[in-house]
């Protein structure tokens, strides 16, 4: 009874009933008392209701804040992304995972290499991926986030390294694959007496097997000059510290061989499986071979490192590949609607001469061909002005804007004298066109243009002009080169060989002889490289500023203001002519960008020095460009790179 009366709704019903009875039977005093009691009961009931509501609201807010705070402070990295992979939000642990910086606005696929964002969205909440990031194995899962405007995913990075058996963890996370190729074995044996050849081969095998045993590796020989090794990753780190002594051991083999033996080594590490590491190693070895051999390239999930590469390059190629490439290029040209030829920024005569001669040959095949040039033509102005006066070359040269309008599904782009994305003249055109061909002679860079149908990168050629000269001879039965075409190619060879003094092989002179027979005038070629008095004095002033390091026999000079890249290159060439200088570097500030030109007699590898600054080239000739730095800062960076990478007499 007491419980029933205490119920608020029943109590109020009783009071209302009393008030009605009192009103009907005229018990006014009792009715007024019941009404006042009813009002008081309602007041206390409403007051208690609102008090309870406030307490509930506070509890809900507290609970919401606690959940949000705990979600942000989850002990695993969590990130919210849209369907394109752009990061909308990340928690504190994900920030710590990425060097303490928030990644909102960045794309997650650029941060976490190998993450398949499409798989996460396609398979909804059941998708799991395993990735190795910063030497930690993560199980990556996701969940949907409801949003009316866009699809969002919460991605969780769960560290499962500790859950894997310790031995399995070592095998999966700390193993590497090494691919070794004696890249000039056949050439060495060809010039070795027959009786000494078995001794050379046996010594090579002994050295490589001893090397494998020293680092505790499993080794298998899978070709006459190729080996595969599986080794614990900790030994790779030791080899890095020892600068891969196997390179020197092989080069010192002397069993009657008249030529020095060299190795190309590709190492894959950091992958989730031996299969993935083998893929890395294959790419690394191709890079080593493409850069001239005698070096080690290490590729992991996140970076590529280079070691060695100090042996002088020598001619090591046959005409077979030139013939095969020519026929393949011819077929691609026939299948194309039109052809564009592009080179590198600030084109030189090797780049431009190659483009002009190749365009003439393509037009002989009945295809429209244009050379895309920008305004940075100062190094080639003499030859370009001469061609523009010739009716034959009318409408051959077009701007990037004109070329962009003419691109269709069957457009072919031939890229000459460059393969780096950062140095090509018009990257937007290359990215738009599906059909691409590269013809270049520079050491292969990790920044190579991808998606090409044909790559002809021959580091043993003196110049791209030499390569184009050979291609032209195979691409048509009767090459019809004009006098201007031949002179452009000869000028390219003349420039890149420094008047036939560097990287000049038998085939270089054969190409020059062919061009001479086609009417190339050596006097006219020489005129392309003459200097006016003002330029000559600028070069002299640059040489006068040179600081010589007598210990390393190197020199560094700084150009005056208001020069161009031609002056920088010519100053470097002249500086190398001074007795006692084995390598030189010339710096110049051109339009608030620092250009560095390096030259070497062959005893010092200027390529690896300038490659550390984002440049590239060859062992004897290399260049680099630095942005957003002063000439003083660039000079300090150059000196640091020289200290770290410069090796004399190796």
d(CA 296, CA 284): 8
DSSP string, 206-261: HHHHHHHHHTT-EEEEEETTEEEEEEEHHHHHHHHHTT-THHHHHHT--SS-SS--
* Tokens standing for residue 438: 């590269």
Which DSSP category does 162 fall into? Answer: G
Q: How many CB atoms lie within 10 A of CB 544?
A: 8
Element (H, E) at 411: strand 411-416
Give the burial string for 560-592 (b: 16+ CB within 10 Å, else e): eeebbbbbbbbbbbbbbeeeebbbbbbbbbbee
d(CA 183, CA 247): 12
d(CA 497, CA 85): 48
pTM of the predicted model as reported, rounded to 2 decimal places:
0.58
The SS3 of residue 637 is helix
**Residue bearing tokens 């690896």:** 608
d(CA 609, CA 611): 5
d(CA 280, CA 275): 9
| Chain center to CA of 272 | 22
State the chain's maximal CA–CA distance in angstroms.
141
* Residue 263 near residue 247 (C-beta atoms within 8 A): yes
Residues 6+ apart with CB under 8 A from 387: 356, 393, 396, 397, 484
**Residue spans per domain, the chain:** 2-71, 78-163, 171-308, 321-527, 534-645
Can you give the pLDDT at residue 472? 93
| Best CA proximity match to 617, nearest among 419, 438, 468 | 419
Phi, psi dihedral angles at 140 (to 5 degrees): -105, 120
Residues 6+ apart with CB under 8 A from 85: 107, 108, 109, 117
Which DSSP category does 443 fall into? Answer: P
| Best CA proximity match to 123, nearest among 81, 99, 147, 153 | 153
* Residue 621 near residue 610 (C-beta atoms within 8 A): no
Can you give the pLDDT at residue 163? 67
Residues 6+ apart with CB under 8 A from 206: none
Domains 78-163 and 321-527 alike in fold: no
In CATH, which superfamily holds the domain spanning 321-527? Answer: inorganic pyrophosphatase (n-terminal core) (3.90.1640.10)
* Residue 301 near residue 270 (C-beta atoms within 8 A): yes
**Residue bearing tokens 């031939």:** 414
* Residue 618 near residue 443 (C-beta atoms within 8 A): yes
Which DSSP category does 107 fall into? Answer: B
Helix axes 319-334, 464-475, angle to 10 degrees: 70
Domain 78-163 fold: Beta-Lactamase (3.30.450)
* Residue 328 near residue 454 (C-beta atoms within 8 A): yes
Domain 534-645 fold: Diaminopimelate Epimerase; Chain A, domain 1 (3.10.310)
CATH of domain 171-308: 3.30.70.270
* Residue 417 near residue 437 (C-beta atoms within 8 A): no
Q: How many CB atoms lie within 10 A of CB 252?
A: 10
d(CA 184, CA 371): 37
* Residue 377 near residue 346 (C-beta atoms within 8 A): no
Secondary structure, 3-state, 316-353: CCCHHHHHHHHHHHHHHHHCCCEEEEECECCCCHHHHH
| Best CA proximity match to 308, nearest among 251, 366, 361 | 251
HSE-up of residue 450 (Cα within 13 Å, Cβ side): 2
d(CA 455, CA 366): 23
Find the Cα–Cα–Cα–Cα dihedral 480, 485, 486, 492, rounded to 10°: -140
Can you give the pLDDT at residue 585? 95
Can you give the pLDDT at residue 340? 96
Distances (CA, A) of 580 to 218, 268, 601: 47, 41, 10
Averages of pLDDT over each 10 residues, the chain, 650 residues: 53 73 73 74 73 62 50 71 81 75 76 76 68 79 72 81 56 76 87 89 92 91 92 86 86 87 90 86 82 82 73 58 84 91 92 95 92 88 90 91 91 93 89 92 82 85 93 86 93 88 85 92 87 86 91 90 86 89 92 90 84 81 88 91 65
Can you give the pLDDT at residue 105? 78
* Tokens standing for residue 138: 């993560």
Q: Is 552 exposed, middle or buried (0-12, 13-18, 19+ CB in 10 A)?
A: middle
Rg (CA), the chain: 37
Helix axes 483-496, 381-388, angle to 10 degrees: 170
């Amino acid at each position: 009874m007491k419980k029933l009366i205490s119920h608020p709704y029943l109590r109020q019903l009783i009071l209302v009933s009393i008030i009605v009875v009192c009103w009907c039977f005229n018990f006014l005093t009792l009715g007024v008392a019941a009404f006042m009691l009813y009002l008081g009961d309602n007041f206390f009931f409403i007051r208690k209701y609102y008090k309870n509501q406030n307490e509930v609201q506070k509890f809900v807010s507290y609970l919401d804040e606690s959940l949000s705070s705990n979600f942000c402070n989850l002990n695993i990295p969590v990130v919210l992304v849209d369907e394109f992979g752009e990061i909308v939000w990340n928690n504190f642990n994900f920030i710590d995972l990425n060097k303490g910086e928030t990644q909102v606005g960045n794309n997650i696929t650029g941060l976490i290499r190998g993450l398949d964002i499409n798989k996460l969205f396609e398979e909804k909440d059941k998708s799991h991926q395993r990735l190795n990031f910063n030497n930690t194995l993560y199980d990556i899962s996701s969940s949907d986030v409801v949003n009316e405007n866009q699809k969002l995913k919460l991605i969780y990075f769960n560290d499962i390294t500790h859950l894997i058996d310790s031995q399995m963890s070592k095998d999966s996370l700390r193993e590497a694959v090494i691919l070794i190729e004696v890249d000039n074995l056949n050439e060495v044996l060809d010039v070795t007496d027959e009786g000494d050849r078995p001794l050379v081969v046996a010594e090579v095998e002994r050295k490589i097997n001893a090397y494998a045993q020293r680092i505790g590796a499993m080794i298998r020989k899978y070709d006459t000059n190729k080996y595969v090794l599986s080794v614990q990753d900790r030994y790779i780190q030791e080899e890095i510290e020892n600068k891969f002594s196997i390179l020197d051991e092989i080069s010192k083999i002397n069993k009657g061989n008249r030529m020095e033996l060299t190795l190309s080594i590709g190492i894959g590490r950091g992958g989730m499986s031996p299969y993935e590491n083998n893929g890395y190693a294959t790419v690394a070895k191709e890079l080593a071979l493409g850069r001239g051999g005698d070096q080690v390239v290490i590729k992991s999930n996140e970076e590529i490192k280079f070691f060695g590469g100090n042996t002088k390059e020598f001619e090591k190629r046959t005409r077979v590949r030139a013939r095969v490439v020519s026929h393949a290029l011819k077929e691609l040209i026939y299948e194309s609607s039109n052809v564009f030829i592009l080179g590198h920024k600030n084109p030189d005569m090797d780049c431009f001469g190659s483009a002009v001669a190749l365009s003439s040959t393509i037009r002989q095949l009945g295809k429209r061909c244009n050379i895309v040039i920008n305004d940075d033509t100062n190094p080639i102005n003499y030859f370009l002005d001469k061609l523009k006066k010739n009716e034959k070359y009318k409408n051959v040269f077009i701007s990037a804007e004109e070329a962009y309008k003419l691109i269709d599904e069957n457009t072919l782009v031939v890229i000459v004298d460059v393969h780096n994305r950062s140095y090509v003249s018009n990257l937007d055109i290359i990215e738009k066109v599906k059909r691409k061909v590269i013809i270049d002679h520079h050491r292969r860079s990790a920044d190579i243009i991808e998606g090409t149908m044909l790559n002809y990168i021959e580091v043993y050629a003196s110049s791209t002009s030499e390569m184009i000269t050979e291609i032209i001879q195979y691409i048509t039965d009767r090459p019809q080169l004009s006098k201007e075409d031949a002179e452009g190619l000869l000028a390219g060879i003349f420039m890149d060989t420094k008047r036939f003094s560097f990287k000049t092989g038998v085939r270089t002179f054969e190409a020059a002889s062919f061009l001479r027979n086609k009417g190339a005038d050596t006097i006219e070629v020489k005129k392309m490289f003459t200097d006016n008095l003002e330029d000559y004095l600028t070069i002299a002033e640059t040489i006068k500023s040179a600081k010589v390091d007598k210990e390393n026999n190197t020199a560094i000079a700084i150009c005056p203001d208001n020069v161009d890249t031609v002056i920088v290159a010519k100053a470097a060439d002249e500086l190398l002519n001074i007795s006692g200088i084995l390598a030189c570097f010339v710096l110049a500030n051109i339009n608030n960008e620092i250009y560095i030109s390096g030259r070497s007699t062959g005893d010092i590898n200027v390529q690896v020095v300038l490659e550390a600054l984002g440049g590239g080239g060859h062992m004897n000739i290399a260049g680099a460009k630095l942005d957003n730095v002063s000439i003083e800062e660039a000079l300090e960076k150059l000196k640091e790179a020289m200290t770290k990478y410069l090796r004399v007499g190796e």
